[in-house]
Structure 1
Amino acid sequence: MCKNEMRIHDTDERDRLYGNLVEATGENTKSGALDAAARYYLQMRGGSAAVPTGAVTELMRAAEERGSLTGAEIAEILTTDELRIRFETSWSVDSQ
């Protein structure tokens, strides 16, 4: 059995970046956080066999076709398993 290993040179900046990524993704490990970030990037960018058309392309196409999009429509296009996007709006009128 052949095992492919990837070694990444650790720097202070990279260590901080990976720590922030672990925190932001809610993953427990650097490798889990990197996997989540890679999946998200591929889903946003597209252009791969796994995801031919990314969400950013879909968003831009929808904006061109419709002329404008609501926050809810944008959230629907950009949400993924790795990063759920919820749109909420509220307003109020102050009496003073």
Structure 2
Amino acid sequence: MSVASINGSTIESAADIVPSIDRAQLPEDRLLAAAYDALAGTGLVAGNARFLAQGKALTYFAAPLGDIDLCVITVGPFADDLSMSRTPVDGFATYGLRVENL
């Protein structure tokens, strides 16, 4: 994997973008089991999700996908209001959070 830097900080992994990925998962970081069921087959590891933010209608989580991608998971108020996008870690310093829907 290539290494990128932004403002002098090296970006080598998803944890360099979302530092909470390096700590143990807290209760608020956990996605509902239904979310993991819906994302089955993506390679997402249940214990890797981290809470990012709560909006008016949506909750946002991040999770690494392997060693090269950062996923953003958006969860709405209903079980079927779920999406996951990913961005390559090595391009983050160049173009920010450019996502590809899975």
Identify the structure with the greater strand proportion: 2
TM-score > 0.5, shorter chain as reference: no
The normalised TM-score by structure 2 is 0.28
Larger Rg computed on CA atoms: 1
The normalised TM-score by structure 1 is 0.29
Identify the structure with the greater helix proportion: 1
